[in-house]
């Protein structure tokens, strides 16, 4: 049962990251290499704002509030100051800007949090005991529920709301969308905010299960792999991809060699890319876009 | 001999872009292809050029089957192409663009070039002279060292034609070379086109929208509609065929 | 005026020259003289920094040829460096081969690995290619980690390598290394410059700018993309091998993804598609952390401790990447070019009748 | 106060160095069709982009002059603000969302309560009803243009800007579309600014015409007058002097120069 719990949580972590990457890709043809860093910094912010006034004891509400404020500010800031200006530049400019963001965030972890290893403990005791001695905290359950809710909300948003259709139009042709009365800056800022929010949630999940540190930013690469395995333009693919990566990683750590687990997502990726380069659920045309 | 296209078919997914296209172009012949957008003109050029692989049919140049040959080998077989929007290498000068056109006629490999000594250097100078002839032909003197990205649109298209010609092709493919040019530039282009036809033994496949230009200059016109050839013949005959008037020209 | 005549060229050979203006020749001459005289008047520590820069230059030129000229983005450069380093380890520690054999062997190994890593480029472009090089990075590093775990004395110490000798000459100490690297880099730079202005360089740039048009002109994409990867990996591998000799130690922990990103930062800061830019970027990014360390010495004591300095050093690279990409996408090379034109035109604002580049 | 749109002494500079247009002035009276013709690179599209607020995305800016809509200054506004104010552009390329279906494209723009309904658009372009569920990317050039115009009409335009409507279309389709446009403009009392290389087609339905060359307006006048102007005929309509449609085979073998300056 330990096995199921770990894989489920890991899948949620990666799926949230992958979803963020997919949203950003769909909205602005940007592949975000800084997603892991954003997630981990989000986790740190969650921790620190929870600890801010309560003297050693985590206050969940403050933590959630802090994380939301962080996501909104961070998403809007990244879009407004950087990504807005790379529209129309060669594709590599946007990617490398995100690489730059990744480095800066990493340095922020070192400077602000002294690169300390942190485990997020919300202080709600583990409640559900599973067969085989594994435990599932309320936080885990809440996180999984939140992840599922997040995906359902996204699905409804894109298919049924007018803003969702506008979002899809903007993703394809921002200039035309703006001419048809859509405030493109608003839509794209929203995309960034949603993506950062998802990343933060994922960082909190990861921080609760393992620990936050400068090394744990590699979850971003796992998330990216998940997105690519599923198909860069498919939200459904993000979940499946996340599951594939999570399962494979868990099995390698258990059965083969923990060192390999870092390289593993990429080995899966190489296999998938050589057979079906556009991913399990992606569309072929995307290959030529970026 | 020239170019021979036989029953060419091209499908993407469910869309039929070309449906049994056949025609010929002899050496030194100027064949214009007209038809509305989406009729398959550019798709046809892409097939001849090897960018698309046709679903069925054959393309032969001087008797050699080019249907399944990769793009760069088709260039080697003697097919030069000028693209619709010029497709310049924007960060290179006009001279460098034309030198890329000479790529196939040069031999120096990576080691000789890195040393830039002896044969590699001589070859470079030789080809530079050849380029000068092409610059002269297209009257591009003043743009020699200008980055092609900075050139006016009309000049870019001419450089595109010049670059294709630098290849010394047996078959020249021109994709809407005069679209976007003003009358004066079109007249210049007409001059170049006639000179190419008279002075070099190349077959030219010329996709064009300007009906006046086509009727004045082309030896033969092939009219495409929905991926099929609906007329093929001398300009004066073709423009009077009712089917062509109905599908493309409209009553004037 | 003499200046007016500098744009006039009377032969094709001249039109293909790299240093077209007389003052450029003078300037390059002066730099070379200064470079030769440098060890006379500077400390070993300073020379050591310069040596690191020269080593970085070789690697950066490799990446510049691949990304800046052929347009193939690569995040696997650290792995290429690692290939050079570990080839050196295997050949010196196990087979006891001399320096003169090891470095060329590292170059050949690099070329072979470059060929393999380049294979995905035949199918992918852009982001997908970048990610496949990333995957290759992890695969190579995994192999290297496994190797190091097996053969190093202790897991964390790395593997030591003796100073190299060429015949009776032992290369050790900053000044000797400096001259050796200077000569090597000069040759490599000249080679790269020649490549860029001749047939292969034009083919690469054509692929970078419009690959379909390039192919239609008869350029064999497979051949030239793989050549670019091989050249890039060769230079990186040579750089990695020399680095191993220079620092006398090889440890896999040094070859992280961050190192690959640092090399990418060098060519961005220097300016994509410029050899000069590659060199300038390598110097800039290599010296940046040392500059920051010196700046921190002016701050109050409390700031100097802990990880702050290290954090800022890391972050500065990221800030440089972002700022250059957004504000000066053509990098230091463009800044240099602007300065040059400014003095060239002085006292006029515009240069009459000149639309040429460079 | 007569014209709906007035452009006065407009100057646009690209990348802070290259002046694309200089001192361009135009007037578009309410309810009329105005044609802006000229070749590629003459500055037509730049003018259009300046009016529709697209310049910042191209790293260009208006350095002088002003644009007014019903007397109100509109330069520097964002495209979506202009779209809400009724300035609707049909761009030259990428004029429809090719990954959305025809219906979704129309719904994207359509707002409730307008005088123009989707029904009415279907009335003008019956083909769009037939192709309703198809992805817009698979439409032919002419159909895309119809969809784009339909979409633009649904945005309740007060001023419709159309960039290169005839580009790449068959003569017969161009003629058809031009006539449709004229009909629509009359029925809805819609003001249209038409930017065209195909001077003949554009001037044939326009009330007024402007001819641009190298970033300036070189001729202006009633469309009918421009059609008969000898210089305009020679350089844009393809017919020197009296002889209509001089053959390309008879061109002189030296480089011809333009007659006017600036």
Whether B83 and chain C come into contact, CB under 8 Å, resolves to yes
Burial of C82 (0-12, 13-18, 19+ CB in 10 A): buried
DSSP secondary structure string for all residues of A157-223: HHHH-HHHHHHHHHHH-HHHHHHTT--HHHHHHHHHHHHHHHHHHHHHHHHHHS-BSSGGGGHHHHH
CA C56, CA A240: separation in Å to the nearest integer?
41
Please, what is the average pLDDT of chain C? 87
Yes or no, beta carbons of B153 and D248 under 8 Å apart: no
Yes or no, beta carbons of B72 and C212 under 8 Å apart: no
Q: Which of C311, C339, C282 is CA-nearest to residue C274?
A: C282
Q: What pLDDT is attached to residue C155?
A: 56
Q: What pLDDT is attached to residue C113?
A: 95
DSSP D72: E
Which position has the higher pLDDT, B138 or A266? B138
Do C206 and C217 meet the contact criterion of CB atoms below 8 Å apart? yes
Lowest mean pLDDT among A72-76, A255-259, C60-64, C202-206: A255-259
Whether A287 and chain C come into contact, CB under 8 Å, resolves to yes
Sheet holding B220-225, edge to edge: B79-82, B171-175, B203-207, B30-34, B220-225, B228-233
Q: Which of C133, C222, C125, C319 is CA-nearest to residue A92?
A: C125
Q: What pLDDT is attached to residue D245?
A: 55
Yes or no, beta carbons of C356 and B163 under 8 Å apart: no
CA B38, CA C61: separation in Å to the nearest integer?
46
For B225, the closest chain D residue by CA position comes to D170
Q: What pLDDT is attached to residue C5?
A: 41
Q: What pLDDT is attached to residue B37?
A: 73
Angle, helix C275-296 to helix C257-270, in steps of 10 degrees: 110
Predicted confidence (pLDDT) at residue A60 exceeds the cutoff of 90: no
Q: Which of D38, D41, D171 sits opposite B152 (nearest CB)?
A: D41
Predicted confidence (pLDDT) at residue D20 exceeds the cutoff of 70: yes
For D106, the closest chain A residue by CA position comes to A180
Residue C124 in tokens: 């992918």
Helix (H) and strand (E) counts in chain D: 10, 10
Whether B101 and chain D come into contact, CB under 8 Å, resolves to no
Count of Cβ atoms closer than 10 Å to residue D74 Cβ: 18
Q: What pLDDT is attached to residue C232?
A: 97
Whether A256 and chain C come into contact, CB under 8 Å, resolves to no
Q: Which CATH number fits domain D3-86+157-261: 3.40.50.450, 1.10.3720.10, 3.30.70.120, 3.40.50.300?
A: 3.40.50.300
User: In the structure, what pLDDT confidence band is assigned to residue B32 with cuts at 50, 70 and 90?
Assistant: very high
CA D80, CA A179: separation in Å to the nearest integer?
6
Residue D189 in tokens: 């009392």
D-chain residues within 8 Å CB-CB of B191? 251, 253
Q: Which of B188, B213, B249 sits opposite D172 (nearest CB)?
A: B249
Q: What pLDDT is attached to residue C358?
A: 38
Q: Which of C199, C218, C355 sits opposite B167 (nearest CB)?
A: C218
User: In the structure, what pLDDT confidence band is assigned to residue C354 with cuts at 50, 70 and 90?
Assistant: very low
Q: What pLDDT is attached to residue A98?
A: 94
Which position has the higher pLDDT, A85 or B205? B205
pLDDT, tens digit (0-9, with 9 covering 90-100), for B176-235? 888 777 777 888 899 899 888 888 889 999 998 888 888 889 999 999 988 899 999 998
For residues D74-86, average pLDDT: 84
Q: Which residue has the tokens 């003499």?
A: C2
CA D196, CA D204: separation in Å to the nearest integer?
12
**What pTM, to 2 d.p., does this model score?**
0.87
Cα angle A205, A207, A213; round to 5: 145
Q: What are phi and psi of B55, to 5 degrees?
A: -70, -35
Yes or no, beta carbons of D248 and B152 under 8 Å apart: no
Burial of C222 (0-12, 13-18, 19+ CB in 10 A): middle
Q: Which of B193, B195, B169, B165 is CA-nearest to residue B181?
A: B193
User: In the structure, what pLDDT confidence band is assigned to residue B149 with cuts at 50, 70 and 90?
Assistant: confident
Predicted confidence (pLDDT) at residue D240 exceeds the cutoff of 70: no
pLDDT, tens digit (0-9, with 9 covering 90-100), for A89-147? 777 888 899 999 999 999 999 988 887 888 877 666 566 666 666 666 777 788 788 89
Percent of chain C residues topping a pLDDT of 90: 54
Question: Which other chains touch chain C, taking contact as 3+ CB pairs less than 8 Å apart?
Answer: A, B
DSSP C79: H
Predicted confidence (pLDDT) at residue D244 exceeds the cutoff of 70: no
Mutate to test the interface with C, among B66, B70, B72, B112 (most CBs of C within 10 A): B72
- How are beta strands B15-25 and D208-213 bridged, if at all? unpaired
CA C59, CA C77: separation in Å to the nearest integer?
8
Q: Which residue has the tokens 């990683």?
A: A249
CA D78, CA D49: separation in Å to the nearest integer?
11
- How are beta strands B30-34 and B203-207 bridged, if at all? parallel
For residue C152, the number of C-alpha atoms closer than 13 Å in the C-beta half-sphere is: 21
CA A120, CA A43: separation in Å to the nearest integer?
8
Yes or no, beta carbons of B92 and C209 under 8 Å apart: yes
Yes or no, beta carbons of B250 and D141 under 8 Å apart: no
Yes or no, beta carbons of D141 and B185 under 8 Å apart: no
Lowest mean pLDDT among C265-269, C328-332, D81-85: D81-85
Coil, strand or helix: which one is D206? coil
Q: Which of C139, C310, C314 sits opposite A267 (nearest CB)?
A: C139
For residues A247-263, average pLDDT: 80
- Report yes or no on chains D and A touching (3+ CB pairs under 8 A): yes
- Report yes or no on chains C and D touching (3+ CB pairs under 8 A): no
Mutate to test the interface with B, among C199, C201, C225, C355 (most CBs of B within 10 A): C199
Total length of chain C: 358
CA A202, CA A11: separation in Å to the nearest integer?
10
Coil, strand or helix: which one is D135? strand
D-chain residues within 8 Å CB-CB of A181? 80, 83-84, 109, 155
Yes or no, beta carbons of A180 and D94 under 8 Å apart: no
Question: Which other chains touch chain D, taking contact as 3+ CB pairs less than 8 Å apart?
Answer: A, B
Yes or no, beta carbons of C318 and A107 under 8 Å apart: yes
For residues C117-124, average pLDDT: 87
CA A20, CA A17: separation in Å to the nearest integer?
5
Q: What pLDDT is attached to residue B251?
A: 54
CA A201, CA D201: separation in Å to the nearest integer?
58
For residues D209-221, average pLDDT: 87
Residue B228 in tokens: 């099929």
Residues of chain C numbered 45-104 and touching chain B (CB < 8 Å):
none
Mutate to test the interface with D, among A180, A189, A233 (most CBs of D within 10 A): A180
D-chain residues within 8 Å CB-CB of B247? 170, 172
CA C291, CA B238: separation in Å to the nearest integer?
76
Predicted confidence (pLDDT) at residue B13 exceeds the cutoff of 80: no
Percent of chain D residues topping a pLDDT of 70: 84
> Going by C-beta distance under 8 Å and a sequence separation of 6 or more, which residues neighbour residue C88?
C102, C103, C106, C161, C240, C241, C244, C245, C250
Whether D91 and chain A come into contact, CB under 8 Å, resolves to yes
User: In the structure, what pLDDT confidence band is assigned to residue C237 with cuts at 50, 70 and 90?
Assistant: very high
For B194, the closest chain D residue by CA position comes to D249
DSSP secondary structure string for all residues of chain A: -HHHHHHHHHHHHHHHHHHHHHHHHHHHS---TTHHHHHHHHHHHHHHHHHTTTTTS--HHHHHHHHHHHHHHHHHHIIIIIGGGGTTS-HHHHHHHHHHHHHHHHHHHHHHHTT--B----SPPEEEEPTTS-EEEHHHHHHHHHHHHHHHHHHHHHHH-HHHHHHHHHHH-HHHHHHTT--HHHHHHHHHHHHHHHHHHHHHHHHHHS-BSSGGGGHHHHHHHHHHHH-TT-HHHHHHHHHHHHHHHHHHHHHT-HHHHHHHHHHHHHHHHHH-TT-SS--TTHHHH-
Q: Which of A85, A99, A263 sits opposite C326 (nearest CB)?
A: A85
Yes or no, beta carbons of D99 and A172 under 8 Å apart: yes
CA A167, CA A174: separation in Å to the nearest integer?
9
Q: Which of D94, D98, D109 sits opposite A180 (nearest CB)?
A: D109
CA B207, CA B9: separation in Å to the nearest integer?
18
CA C159, CA C149: separation in Å to the nearest integer?
10
Rounded to a whole number of angstroms, the CA Rg of chain D reads: 19
User: In the structure, what pLDDT confidence band is assigned to residue C321 with cuts at 50, 70 and 90?
Assistant: very high
Please, what is the average pLDDT of chain D? 81
C-alpha distance from B38 to closest chain C C-alpha (Å): 21
User: In the structure, what pLDDT confidence band is assigned to residue C335 with cuts at 50, 70 and 90?
Assistant: very high
Coil, strand or helix: which one is C335? helix
Predicted confidence (pLDDT) at residue C1 exceeds the cutoff of 70: no
User: In the structure, what pLDDT confidence band is assigned to residue C302 with cuts at 50, 70 and 90?
Assistant: low
* Every domain of chain D and the residues it spans: 3-86+157-261
pLDDT, tens digit (0-9, with 9 covering 90-100), for D125-182? 888 888 878 888 878 788 889 999 998 888 888 899 998 888 778 788 888 899 999 9
Yes or no, beta carbons of D83 and A175 under 8 Å apart: no
Yes or no, beta carbons of D40 and B154 under 8 Å apart: yes
User: In the structure, what pLDDT confidence band is assigned to residue A258 with cuts at 50, 70 and 90?
Assistant: confident
User: In the structure, what pLDDT confidence band is assigned to residue A265 with cuts at 50, 70 and 90?
Assistant: confident
pLDDT, tens digit (0-9, with 9 covering 90-100), for C186-233? 999 999 999 999 999 999 999 999 988 999 999 999 999 999 999 999
CA D227, CA C119: separation in Å to the nearest integer?
60
Yes or no, beta carbons of B75 and C218 under 8 Å apart: yes
Q: Which residue has the tokens 């990216």?
A: A224
> Going by C-beta distance under 8 Å and a sequence separation of 6 or more, which residues neighbour residue C223?
none
Percent of chain B residues topping a pLDDT of 90: 40
CA C292, CA C284: separation in Å to the nearest integer?
12
Chain A, chain D: beta-carbon pairs less than 8 Å apart = 61
CA A169, CA A26: separation in Å to the nearest integer?
10
Count of Cβ atoms closer than 10 Å to residue A237 Cβ: 24
Predicted confidence (pLDDT) at residue C337 exceeds the cutoff of 80: yes
> Going by C-beta distance under 8 Å and a sequence separation of 6 or more, which residues neighbour residue B25?
B2, B3, B31, B171, B203, B204, B205, B220
Q: Which helix (H) or strand (E) holds C226?
A: helix C221-247
Yes or no, beta carbons of D172 and B250 under 8 Å apart: yes
Whole-Å CA distances, C252 to A202, C53, C138, D187: 30, 21, 12, 76
Q: What are phi and psi of C75, to 5 degrees?
A: -110, 20
Yes or no, beta carbons of B194 and D249 under 8 Å apart: yes
CA A35, CA A216: separation in Å to the nearest integer?
12
Yes or no, beta carbons of C217 and B96 under 8 Å apart: no
Burial of A149 (0-12, 13-18, 19+ CB in 10 A): exposed
Whether A266 and chain C come into contact, CB under 8 Å, resolves to yes
Yes or no, beta carbons of B87 and C205 under 8 Å apart: no
Whether D157 and chain A come into contact, CB under 8 Å, resolves to no
Do B223 and B231 meet the contact criterion of CB atoms below 8 Å apart? yes
């Amino acid at each position: 049962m330990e096995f199921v719990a770990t894989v489920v949580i890991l899948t949620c972590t990666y799926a949230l990251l992958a979803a963020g990457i997919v949203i950003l890709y769909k909205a602005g043809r940007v592949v975000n290499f800084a997603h892991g860093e954003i997630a981990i910094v989000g986790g740190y912010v969650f921790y620190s704002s929870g600890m801010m006034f309560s003297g050693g004891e985590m206050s969940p509400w403050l933590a959630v509030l802090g994380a939301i404020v962080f996501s909104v500010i961070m998403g809007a800031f990244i879009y407004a100051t950087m990504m807005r200006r790379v529209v129309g530049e060669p594709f590599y400019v946007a990617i490398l800007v995100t690489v730059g963001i990744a480095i800066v965030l990493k340095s922020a972890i070192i400077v602000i949090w002294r690169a300390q290893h942190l485990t997020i403990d919300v202080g709600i005791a583990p409640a559900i005991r599973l067969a085989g001695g594994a435990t599932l905290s309320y936080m885990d359950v809440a996180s999984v529920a939140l992840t599922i809710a997040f995906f359902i909300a996204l699905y409804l948003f894109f298919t049924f709301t007018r803003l969702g259709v506008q979002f899809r139009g903007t993703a394809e042709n921002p200039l035309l969308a703006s001419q048809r009365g859509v405030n493109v800056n608003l839509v794209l800022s929203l995309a960034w905010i949603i993506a950062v929010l998802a990343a933060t949630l994922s960082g909190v999940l990861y921080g609760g299960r393992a620990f936050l540190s400068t090394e744990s930013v590699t979850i971003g690469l796992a998330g990216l792999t998940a997105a690519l395995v599923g198909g860069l333009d498919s939200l459904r693919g993000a979940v499946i991809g996340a599951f594939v990566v999570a399962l494979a990683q868990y099995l390698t750590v258990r059965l083969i060699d923990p060192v390999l687990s870092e390289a593993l997502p990429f080995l899966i990726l190489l296999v998938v890319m050589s057979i079906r380069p556009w991913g399990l659920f992606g569309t072929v045309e995307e290959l030529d876009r970026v | 001999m020239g170019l021979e296209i036989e029953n060419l078919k091209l499908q993407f997914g469910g869309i039929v872009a070309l449906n049994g296209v056949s025609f010929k172009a002899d050496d030194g012949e100027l064949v214009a292809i007209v038809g509305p957008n989406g009729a398959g003109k550019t798709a046809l050029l892409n097939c001849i050029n090897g960018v698309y692989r046709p679903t069925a049919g054959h393309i032969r140049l001087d008797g050699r089957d080019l249907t399944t040959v990769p793009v760069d080998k088709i260039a080697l077989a003697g097919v030069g192409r000028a693209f619709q929007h010029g497709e310049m290498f924007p960060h290179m000068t006009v001279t460098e663009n034309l030198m890329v056109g000479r790529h196939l006629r040069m031999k120096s490999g990576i080691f000789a070039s890195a040393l830039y000594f002896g044969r590699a250097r001589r070859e470079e100078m030789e080809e530079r002279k050849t380029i000068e002839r092409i610059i002269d032909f297209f009257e591009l003197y003043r743009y020699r060292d200008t980055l092609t990205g900075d050139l006016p649109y009309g000049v870019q298209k001419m450089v595109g034609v010049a670059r294709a010609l630098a290849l010394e092709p047996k078959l020249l493919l021109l994709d809407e070379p005069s679209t976007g040019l003003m009358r004066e530039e079109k007249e210049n282009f007409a001059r170049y086109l006639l000179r190419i036809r008279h002075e070099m033994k190349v077959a030219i496949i010329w996709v064009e929208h300007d009906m006046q230009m086509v009727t004045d200059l082309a030896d033969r016109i092939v009219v495409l509609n929905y991926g099929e050839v609906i007329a093929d013949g001398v300009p004066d005959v073709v423009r009077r065929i009712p089917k062509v008037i109905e599908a493309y020209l409209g009553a004037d | 005026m003499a200046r007016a005549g500098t744009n006039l060229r009377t032969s094709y050979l001249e039109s293909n020259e790299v240093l077209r203006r007389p003052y450029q020749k003078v300037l390059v001459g002066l730099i070379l003289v200064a470079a030769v005289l440098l060890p006379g008047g500077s400390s070993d520590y300073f020379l050591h920094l310069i040596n690191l820069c020269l080593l970085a230059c070789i690697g950066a030129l490799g990446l510049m040829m691949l990304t800046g000229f052929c347009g193939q983005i690569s995040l696997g450069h650290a792995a290429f460096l690692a290939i050079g380093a570990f080839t050196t380890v295997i050949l010196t520690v196990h087979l006891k081969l001399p320096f003169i054999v090891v470095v060329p062997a590292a170059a050949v190994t690099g070329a072979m690995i470059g060929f393999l890593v380049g294979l995905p480029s035949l199918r992918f472009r852009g982001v997908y290619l970048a990610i496949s090089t990333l995957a290759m990075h992890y695969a190579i590093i995994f192999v290297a980690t496994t190797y190091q775990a097996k053969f190093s004395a202790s897991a964390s110490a790395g593997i030591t390598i003796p100073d190299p000798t060429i015949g009776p000459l032992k290369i050790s100490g900053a000044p000797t290394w400096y001259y050796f690297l200077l000569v090597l880099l000069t040759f490599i730079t000249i080679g790269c410059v020649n490549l860029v202005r001749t047939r292969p360089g034009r083919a690469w740039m054509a692929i970078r700018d419009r690959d379909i048009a390039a192919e239609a002109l008869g350029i064999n994409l497979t051949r030239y993309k793989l050549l670019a990867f091989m050249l890039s990996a060769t230079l990186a591998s040579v750089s990695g091998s020399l680095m191993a000799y220079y620092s006398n130690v090889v440890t896999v922990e040094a070859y992280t993804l961050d190192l690959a990103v640092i090399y990418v930062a060098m060519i961005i800061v220097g300016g994509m598609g410029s050899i000069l830019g590659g060199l300038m970027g390598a110097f800039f990014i290599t010296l940046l952390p040392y500059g920051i360390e010196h700046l921190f010495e002016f701050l109050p004591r409390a700031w100097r401790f802990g990880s702050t300095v290290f954090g800022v050093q890391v972050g500065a690279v990221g800030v440089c990447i972002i700022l250059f990409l957004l504000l000066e996408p053509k990098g230091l090379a463009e800044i240099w070019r602007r300065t040059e034109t400014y003095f060239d035109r002085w006292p006029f604002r515009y240069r009459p009748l000149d639309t040429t580049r460079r | 106060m007569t014209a709906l749109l007035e452009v006065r002494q407009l100057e646009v500079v690209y990348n802070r160095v290259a002046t694309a247009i200089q001192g361009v002035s135009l007037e578009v009276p309410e309810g009329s069709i105005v044609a802006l013709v000229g070749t590629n690179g003459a500055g037509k599209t730049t003018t259009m982009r300046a009016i529709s607020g697209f310049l910042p995305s191209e790293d260009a800016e208006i350095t002088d002059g002003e644009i007014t809509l019903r007397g109100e200054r509109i330069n520097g506004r964002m495209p979506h603000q202009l779209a809400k104010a009724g300035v609707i552009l049909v761009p030259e390329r990428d004029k429809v969302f090719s990954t959305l279906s025809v219906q979704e494209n129309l719904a994207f723009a359509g707002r409730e309560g307008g005088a123009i309904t989707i029904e009415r658009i279907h009335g003008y372009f019956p083909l769009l009803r037939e192709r309703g569920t198809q992805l817009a990317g698979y439409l032919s050039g002419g159909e895309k243009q119809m969809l784009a115009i339909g979409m633009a009409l649904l945005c309740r335009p007060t001023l419709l800007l159309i960039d290169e409507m005839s580009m790449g279309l068959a003569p017969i389709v161009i003629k058809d579309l031009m006539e449709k446009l004229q009909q629509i403009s009359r029925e809805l009392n819609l003001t249209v600014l038409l930017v065209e290389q195909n001077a003949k087609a554009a001037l044939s339905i326009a009330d007024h015409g402007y001819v641009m060359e190298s970033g300036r307006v070189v001729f202006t006048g009633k469309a009918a007058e421009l059609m008969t102007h000898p210089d305009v005929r020679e350089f844009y309509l393809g017919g020197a002097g009296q002889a209509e449609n001089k053959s390309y085979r008879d061109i002189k073998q030296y480089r011809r120069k333009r007659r006017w300056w600036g």
